[in-house]
Amino acid sequence: MADLIWFLIVIGLLAAASYQRASLITTASIGAGAMFLGTIFGDIGFLGWLVYAVVFVPFLVTSIRHQYITQPLLAFYKKVMPEMSRTEQEAIDAGTVWWDGDIFSGKPDWEKLHRIPKGRLTQEEQAFLDGPVERVCNMVDEWQINHQDADLPPEMWDYLKEHKFFAMIIKKEYGGLEFSAFAQSRVLQKLSGANAVLSSTVGVPNSLGPGELLQHYGTKEQQDHYLPRLAAGDEIPCFALTGPEAGSDAGAIPDTGVVCKGEFNGEEVLGMRLNFDKRYITLAPVATVIGLAFKLHDPDGLLGDEPELGITCALIPRDTKGLDIGRRHFPLNTPFQNGPIRGKDIFVPLDFIIGGADMAGKGWRMLMECLSVGRCITLPSCAAGGAKTTALATGAYSRIRRQFRIPVGQMEGVEEMLARIGGNAYLMDGVTRFSTVGVDIGEKPSVISAIAKYHLTEKARQVVNDAMDVHGGKGVMLGPNNYLGRGYQGIPISITVEGANILTRNMMIFGQGAMRCHPYVLDEIHAAAIKDKEQALEAFDKAVFGHIGFAIANTVRSTWFSVTNGMFNSAPFTDETARYYKLLEGYSANLALLSDISMGVLGGDLKRRERLSARLGDILSGLFMASTTLKRYDEDGRLKEDLPFLHWAMQTTLYDIETAINEFITNFPSKPVAIYLKVLVMPFGRRIKKPSDKTEHAIATILQTPSSARSRLGYGQYITREPGNLVGDLEQALDDVLACEPIFDKICKHKQEKLPFVRLDVLADEALEAGIITDEEADLLRRTEIERLNTINVDDFDHEELVAKINSTSKPAKKVKAA
């Protein structure tokens, strides 16, 4: 019995050392100390020490470890791990590891999270939002833009150029605004709440495109020529990457450039002959300078010994001979400028390459580095802004619109949808705040940008779908008074661009996350690629035994989490949020453990098990979004009024994390391993339930009632109460309806009957004549009736108004036929 007790003491101390991630030598020393005490005070004898030595000596003696453990592991690793392509390597190398690394660590540093600064606007940035951004939102006539003109009006284009909306990323030395990523996000959120065509038109030049590429990689001559012109709006940029044969697999572009000599402006120069076929290029129809991605070949060795230089980026002026540009695509009735670009046997000088000839073949890394920043800003910000405005509008509509003599927002089915809308909007804004601050402090968070792009566009889809269900026919019937329908039509666009969401979830988030965020995997890959055997062995030994210690630590942490339900995990606060921090720490250990076991068991096959990879990505994403939600709550002052939003966002996200863990284990191809994981990670089933009806009722009430919590949710959006702003009209109508209800109740009480909340103008006249209400109260009822009818009524048209007007000079759309 004494032997068993001392055995358990030794095992417990070794587990505790592993839990704290002590080094191998420290762990072995702690175990040896316990063995020594057991020898003095207990019954541990020679046999116990022999077993202990057999376990630890092979790992502690370097020569033995290298020969009998590390070398076989390295050989096995090289055999099972697939070779990484150049484009995969460049994608992995692009960007930086930030908070996503903490999430993957198994023990996030919550103090580090809360030390990250809060995003703040400068006076100049705030003035831009309050001035030019507010003004351009007021200029929006969505029906005219979407249905009549299929474009922004000329005066809006001029205003955008004059006030440098296309130059938010360009440095002041070139005439740009040089705004922070956080400020750009705030601008795009406000614009997206007003009109998707407007936000897309402004977002693209400030994301992945010539301006960003020139500032980071352009030659001084290129920067001095193009950047001032881009800042002034004299040049409109676009970037041509995707084509018929290369959409989500952009690295497979078939477009080519061949290094050769040719004539340009009357002189023979060294240049490139380009052939390309691009599509889906935003701003292409109006662009004056085109960023072009293609694969550059040098068959005659004019630039060196490498015949296949790889993906290259160049700037092509619109007036270049042979360039076919100007036609438009029509993306789901959201007519931002978008179209194809084609070129056949176009010759341009080598100095058209961004960065000059020295940057030939380095285009993919350029694109990945810039995309890791741009994808953090544009689409997530537009999604979050649209969700915030939709939340306010749907809440107001639900309170104004009545059926069965009650506001539809008081029906429990509608409350469920309002809760999803409000909770998602709260979470989405937290994600954009955090990720854009990361960019501002110098990070290039490639994994975080993929998480933000995928999940925020998907949540925007859920928000607009729920809003359409609440609005019913009001959302379906298009017209000048419909503020929702075009957003609903256009939401698949954001799902598709900048890496289709299917690809992003199934291949990118965990595919890059495991490589970039895991503390040892990338080091193992690099060590295995070293040609010198001794150096490779030394580097791999360091990486793989660090990895083994990491895996053991997370096994212990996951086991402890399962046994204690996270009770003893760390949390920076002791209020209602403490439980969330503790659960997230446990799920972080689960993620690290599941990742290590899946990579160890499946090896390179994990890359092809896309649905397993996607579920691991869902866990990683959930941990990130939950973290940013907790940080948002802290940044807002930990206000009790915001707790319904926080609880909904956290409980939904944690529930989704557990769903992903459960589905990963259930579908793991090795059943014995799956059973082991089930016992280790989720032995007692779920810990988290979905948000309660009470929580969802609280959110629905907030969205339908003016309050500080509601204002914080919609902060920064275009809700000004001025002519032409339909959301501003809704906000005014909401205030007036709420102000009218006590007057209406007084009339009902006087008449001793429950009247329908309709024909308020007629009711006002009757009540005023009967002396029940005052003149001011009657005026409020009459005004509210007008607002109420404007809210619930829809547009109708003569048949001729809906028939497309064909310009006699226009050409019909081309039908693409196979050759």
Contact 222, 263 (CB under 8 A): no
Instruction: Say if residues 278 and 228 touch (Cβ distance below 8 Å).
Output: no
Quick one: tokens of 16?
């505790």
Residues 426 and 631 sit within 8 Å (Cβ to Cβ): no
Backbone angles phi, psi at 201, to 5 degrees: -65, -40
Q: What is the largest CA-CA distance in the chain?
A: 106
**687 touches 658 (CB < 8 A):** yes
Asked if residue 617 lies in contact with residue 514, where contact means CB atoms within 8 angstroms, the answer is: no
d(C-alpha 245, C-alpha 327), whole Å: 19
Judged on CB neighbours under 10 Å (0-12, 13-18, 19+), 646 is buried
Amino acid at 657: I
Q: How far apart are CA 698 and CA 643, in angstroms?
A: 9
Instruction: Yes or no: say if 108 and 163 are a contact pair by the CB < 8 Å rule.
Output: no
SS3 211: helix
Alpha-carbon span 32 to 18, nearest angstrom: 15
Strands 237-240 and 256-264: unpaired
CA–CA dist 40, 44 (Å, integer): 8
Long-range contacts of 55-60 (CB under 8 A, 24+ apart): 56/28, 56/31, 59/24, 59/28, 59/545, 60/24, 60/25, 60/28
In three-state secondary structure terms, 395 is helix
* Catalytic-role residue among 235, 415, 443, 498: 498
Q: Is 498 a catalytic residue?
A: yes
Helices in 443-532 by DSSP H: which ranges?
446-471, 473-476, 485-496, 501-503, 509-517, 521-528
Cβ count near 115 (within 10 Å): 8
Q: Going by C-beta distance under 8 Å and a sequence separation of 6 or more, which residues neighbour residue 533? A: none
- The answer to whether 617 and 505 have CB atoms below 8 angstroms apart is yes
DSSP 75-91: HHHHHHSPPPPHHHHHH
3-state secondary structure 722-764: CCCCHHHHHHHHHHHHHHHHHHHHHHHHHHCCCCCCCCHHHHH
The one-letter amino acid code at 232 reads A
Tell me 166's DSSP state: G
**Cα–Cα distance, 474 to 407 (Å, whole number):** 15
Catalytic residues: 498
